Amino acid sequence: MKTVTITHWEENWDNYRPTSLLEYIEWLNEKLREIPEEYRPTARVEIDSESSYGSASLEYRIVYERPETNEEKILREGRERQIEESKKAHEIEQLKQLKAKYPNMT
């Protein structure tokens, strides 16, 4: 499944978010209408908070889940292969360095 973000904002940014309850409900309904009807049951709101140097901020996301397209799957698998190849190359380099550092170890 693929997570699709409909909207994302942080409370300390100047992004528009209504403060009136009626306007907020309408705003949420607009966001809901952006989600294809068959995926609306998967829609959710994610809220996260972060505190740094005595200042707090909230981060909001509206997301939904849908099946991955073939193109997305190919791209994801390619990225995963790249990460694995990079990790393997790094580990081989580490192994060479350790063998050079400890030549008498078997």
Q: pLDDT (tens digit, 9 = 90+) per residue, 57-93?
A: 778 889 999 999 999 999 999 999 999 999 999 999 9
Q: SS3 string of the chain? A: CEEEEEEEEECCCCCCCCCCHHHHHHHHHHHHHCCCHHHHHHCEEEEEEEEECCEEEEEEEEEEEECCCHHHHHHHHHHHHHHHHHHHHHHHHHHHHHHHHCCCCC
Question: What is the value of pTM for the model shown?
Answer: 0.66
pLDDT of residue 21: 93
